[in-house]
Structure 1
Amino acid sequence: MATAQEVDEEPLKVKDEDEEEVEKDTDDGGEGDEEEPKEPRIRDTPEDIHFDAIVNTLAFHPKQDIIAAGDIDGDIYLYSYSCTEGETKELWSSGHHLKSCRKVAFSHDGRSLFSVAKDKAVHIMDVEAGKLVTRIPKAHSVPIYSLLLVDENVLATGDDEGTLKVWDMRKGTAIMDLKHHEDFISEIAIDEAKKILLTSSGDGTMGVFNIKRRRFDLVSEPQSGDLTSVAIVKRGRKAVCGSSDGTIYIFNWDGFGATSDRFFVQAESLESIVPITDSMVCAASMDGVIRAINILPNRVVGSVGQHKGEPIEDIARSYDSHFLASSAHDQLVKFWDISKLSELHVSDYRKRKKKHGKLTSLSKKAVGCGDNFFAGLLDEPDDAQDKKDNMKEEEEDDKDDDSDSDSGSD
């Protein structure tokens, strides 16, 4: 008869064998329970967000990882975004606008979301609840195109016919109602002192308004193309405007009547410009490319990203300056890593561009990483002799004089 000690040892021995078998299966790549949980994948940027319609406008929350988007159907969406795969999620959506949403903007505390649309209305929504709080149904007599939140109580709007209105939201009435443009007001910007308001217009001029004194100051001389965007750079000493002809126009502060410089970019219409540093902006184009551009010295530094062959409608910078978001006709909102742009140094020295100069990729997601942005876009030589001829041409270009004008292309 087995002793109590021997009986106890038998099951212990069997248990040890089972454990060894399970460990062996796990080591061999078996389907053990310990293999089921997988760590979520961490990406460099949040995943693309797919929409049912083209997104016209984007805005980042000033304090949280939240982005708002307005589309051509008049719908507004709020998403939380994350670099953890699968965690970018829709928070709420709103269909209060009757026509295409043109612009969205968060209040400075992030509690309210302002929007304007082709239906001529101004909406204010509660960000947390996703509910409409205030609506001005006929804010303009024609569709509204642009919007700028000056502070918690003051709002500026521009419409399709060039009228600028400045609103006191405590009263719900316009304290300025001025028309000094002959075409739509595409963008509005304001200085740090909240005194001088700048407008870019489809009539090719930039408008200057003093909102402290509630007066119009002047419009610049007209440029050759529509002015599609405006931004303030160089610590408030310069204003820059993008245009439909691919030119960036530069104005001295207090010298808004005429441009001080202009910089032609080999790109289709520059639809949106966002300042990244005092000297660098990101510009989105109808050719689907987002370019990083240094201002004075004027250089196209490289490509941040792209929507392949799709016109870009809008770009926005996150509150921590880590990401740039873009929306295009492919009905996608994409995120790009811009955290390293502030570290780039642009020299006054300009090296001569080669015959087939390529745009440097500034992010991993941009087409053709490294210095070969247009790889796959240019026609490849049909044979080895063509390749050799191309290399010879480039070597001859390198021997040419390095001097070149600052108003070159990318």
Structure 2
Amino acid sequence: ESEDEPAEEPREPRIRETPEDIKLDAIVNTLAFHPKQDIFAAGDIDGDIYVYSYSCTEGESKELWSSGHHLKSCREVAFSHDGQKLFSVSKDKSVHLMDVEGGKLVTRIAKAHSVPINALLLVDENVLATGDDGGTLKVWDMRKGTSFMDLKHHDDYISGIAIDQAKRMLLTSSGDGTMGVFNIKRRRFELLSEFQSGDLTSVAIMKRGKKVVCGSSEGTMYIFNWNGFGATSDRFAVKAESVDCIVPITDSILCAASMDGVIRAINLLPNRVLGCIGQHVGEPIEQIARSRDSRFLASCAHDQMIKFWDISSLRDMTPWR
């Protein structure tokens, strides 16, 4: 052995553009990013919840903890605005509140609804809105563990919930083809939109609060004027099998995920598809989520994969005139 051969340099870990894919043991229904740290939560069809840290350094993303408290499929997860709590809802009809740091179950509302819960929105630190498979919307005071609104105006499942910046109007999208409008300040139902063709799968507020967009199972996006909730002001047919999940990225641009496994970037008004952000080839996408800095979009699909896509260029796009 010659002594003057240089020792091998340790290989620097590779830096990727996006975190590596994560493969789970079951189909993931729901994803949410932490508001302050490089952490995300995922809920799967077995009722398990996973919390991961993510990084662009190869091999650095890792599972922090997992929880099997739900008895059936976890349908939705959401972090509190301070990032210390994680809320989840399930097919088992329960609402759970967990401590993000250690994954400890803090509060369980076991029979929160009489049928499986499908949608969840955090209004503020203590107020939670939930929507179920039968079309009932409930709004909870988590300090008391009781609901102060319990209203059924939809004939089918509630697929999505959104709220305006003033925290006054709650909007619901439903499988019955309507959008529901609820006044949370006055604790009352306001109106349902006209029926649209297909299930409304998702709802988002865009254009600095002036427009509301709903995705549909037919692949059409329905656009409403704020305060003109009865009838659509515009519609846009995306050449996709369906628009199952929408996430606003800027005031005018959203990402839409579809049954065909493709995630598209879409500009609203003028309406046009800007391009494909990524895809799970041939696998229906369950949900997409945007990281706190709008750098990444994460997606989960029937391939049991969580994938990350770089969407940083969307923030810098000049709005289309």
TM-score bucket of the superposed structures, by smaller chain: over 0.9
Shift of 1:346: 4.9
Is 1:305 the equivalent of 2:283? no
Paired with 2:9 and 2:28, the residues of 1 have a C-alpha distance of 38
Shift of 1:109: 0.4
SS at match of 1:333: strand
Between 1 and 2, higher relative CO (CA 8 Å, sep ≥ 6) is seen in: 2
Q: Which of 61, 67, 73 lines up with 1:88 in the alignment?
A: 61
Paired with 1:82 and 1:173, the residues of 2 have a C-alpha distance of 38
Looking at secondary structure, tell me which structure has more strand per residue: 2
**1:51 maps to what in 2?**
24
| Uncovered stretches (5+) of structure 1, i.e. residues with no partner | 1-17, 26-31, 349-410
Paired with 2:10 and 2:149, the residues of 1 have a C-alpha distance of 60
Q: Which of 94, 103, 106 lines up with 1:133 in the alignment?
A: 106
Q: Which of 230, 235, 239 lines up with 2:208 in the alignment?
A: 235
Paired with 2:78 and 2:165, the residues of 1 have a C-alpha distance of 18
How is 1:11-410 mapped onto 2 (pairs within 5 angstroms)?
22=4, 25=5, 32-33=6-7, 35-348=8-321
Paired with 1:258 and 1:226, the residues of 2 have a C-alpha distance of 16
SS at match of 2:46: coil
TM-score by length of 1: 0.77
**1:385 maps to what in 2?**
none
Looking at secondary structure, tell me which structure has more helix per residue: 1
**Runs of 4+ in structure 1 over 6 Å off:** none
Show CA shifts across 1:339-371 (max 9, x none). 1102223544xxxxxxxxxxxxxxxxxxxxxxx
Counterpart code for 2:148: I
| RMSD (CA atoms) | 0.9
Paired with 1:346 and 1:211, the residues of 2 have a C-alpha distance of 32
Show CA shifts across 1:287-325 (max 9, x none). 000000000000100011100111000000001111000
**1:384 maps to what in 2?**
none
Paired with 1:142 and 1:158, the residues of 2 have a C-alpha distance of 10
How many aligned residue pairs are there?
320
Paired with 1:80 and 1:305, the residues of 2 have a C-alpha distance of 22
Counterpart code for 1:258: A
Show CA shifts across 1:79-118 (max 9, x none). 0000000000000000000000000000000000000000
| Uncovered stretches (5+) of structure 2, i.e. residues with no partner | none
Matched-pair identity in %: 79
Contact 1:270 1:283 in 2 (8 A): yes
Paired with 2:317 and 2:208, the residues of 1 have a C-alpha distance of 18
SS at match of 2:244: strand
Shift of 1:36: 4.0
Paired with 2:106 and 2:9, the residues of 1 have a C-alpha distance of 46
Shift of 1:170: 1.1
Counterpart code for 1:53: A
Contact 1:297 1:346 in 2 (8 A): no
Contact 1:45 1:83 in 2 (8 A): yes
Paired with 1:285 and 1:296, the residues of 2 have a C-alpha distance of 21
Rg comparison, structure with higher value: 1
Paired with 1:171 and 1:308, the residues of 2 have a C-alpha distance of 45
Paired with 2:182 and 2:303, the residues of 1 have a C-alpha distance of 37
